[in-house]
């Protein structure tokens, strides 16, 4: 099953979201390699999202991972916890629950107004799938509400947005590298993985 060409921002975001769904399905099944069923889940979701016949999962589904969470979403520390805005306030991030996560003060003050993926990448850390999915939803909903989903990808990259779109396309990690949905410890980023790997076992 091939990788579809994505031309507009909405299609690219849908593809990345579908990749997360495929990885989540595989991890839930407890396997380290994708099966045909996992590929089908990804393609069905991609087609549904990009055609508008399917919607993103609600934040409610993610919330259970946050309730009772007593560790920093970024580094796993349980000390000196605070609340962080996934999309910074100064970049139009809201105070709504979906934009708020637990973070230790060290991570919070280090990240500041930086894009989450840019900041994590600089530290060679890959986020948990739950965190990445939440971030991707925020990005998607922001672009949807600002009517940007039909913008050509290359043009969207030139826009000044509250997040760095370039990170999303280059953010693939091997499935075997992802231990669980709600990682308690930071996972080191594997560099040098290209988009073309995405059909061969990467999220
Ligand atoms: Zn931390």
Q: What is the pLDDT of residues 132-177, one digit of tens each?
A: 888 999 999 999 999 999 999 999 999 999 999 988 875 666 776 6
What would the mean pLDDT of 101-109 be, rounded to a whole number?
92
- Residue 89 Cα to ligand 1 midpoint, Å, equals 19
Looking at the domain assignment, is residue 23 inside a domain?
yes
Closest CA to 203 of 45, 10, 87: 45
Q: Is the pLDDT of residue 102 over 70?
A: yes
Closest CA to 86 of 55, 56, 111: 111
- Residue 80 Cα to ligand 1 midpoint, Å, equals 9
Give residue 178's pLDDT.
66
What would the mean pLDDT of 66-80 be, rounded to a whole number?
79
Give residue 124's pLDDT.
83
- Residue 72 Cα to ligand 1 midpoint, Å, equals 5
Looking at the domain assignment, is residue 45 inside a domain?
yes
Give residue 126's pLDDT.
82
Looking at the domain assignment, is residue 90 inside a domain?
yes
- Residue 112 Cα to ligand 1 midpoint, Å, equals 12
Looking at the domain assignment, is residue 1 inside a domain?
no
Looking at the domain assignment, is residue 179 inside a domain?
yes
Domain count, the chain: 1
- Residue 203 Cα to ligand 1 midpoint, Å, equals 24
Q: Which residues surround ligand 1, an ion (CB under 5 A)?
A: 72, 74-75, 77, 104, 107
Q: How many of the other CB atoms lie within 10 Å of CB of 9?
A: 26
Looking at the domain assignment, is residue 79 inside a domain?
yes
- Residue 186 Cα to ligand 1 midpoint, Å, equals 9
Q: Measuring CA to CA, how many Å separate 41 from each of 7, 19, 36, 47, 73?
A: 21, 9, 9, 10, 27
Q: Is the pLDDT of residue 199 over 70?
A: no
Domain that holds residue 76: 9-199
Looking at the domain assignment, is residue 53 inside a domain?
yes
Looking at the domain assignment, is residue 48 inside a domain?
yes
> Residue 166 is encoded by which pair of tokens?
């370039």
Lowest-pLDDT choice from 19-23, 108-112, 199-203? 199-203
What would the mean pLDDT of 73-99 be, rounded to a whole number?
89
- Residue 107 Cα to ligand 1 midpoint, Å, equals 4
């Amino acid at each position: 099953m091939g990788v579809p060409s994505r031309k507009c921002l909405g299609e690219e975001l849908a593809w990345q979201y579908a990749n997360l769904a495929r990885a989540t399905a595989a991890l839930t099944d407890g396997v380290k390699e994708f099966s045909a069923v996992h590929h089908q889940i990804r393609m069905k979701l991609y087609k549904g999202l990009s055609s508008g016949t399917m919607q993103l999962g609600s934040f409610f589904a993610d919330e259970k991972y946050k309730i009772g969470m007593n560790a920093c979403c970024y580094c796993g520390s349980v000390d000196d916890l605070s609340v962080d805005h996934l999309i910074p306030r100064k970049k139009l991030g809201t105070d709504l629950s979906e934009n708020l996560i637990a973070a230790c003060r060290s991570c919070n003050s280090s990240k500041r107004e930086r894009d989450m993926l840019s900041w994590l990448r600089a530290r060679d850390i890959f986020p948990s799938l739950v965190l990445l999915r939440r971030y991707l939803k925020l990005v998607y909903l922001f672009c949807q509400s600002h009517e940007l989903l039909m913008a050509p990808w290359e043009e969207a990259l030139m826009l000044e947005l509250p997040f760095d779109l370039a990170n999303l396309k280059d953010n693939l990690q091997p499935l075997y590298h992802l231990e669980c949905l709600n990682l308690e410890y930071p996972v080191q980023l594997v560099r040098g993985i290209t988009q073309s790997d995405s059909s061969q076992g990467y999220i």
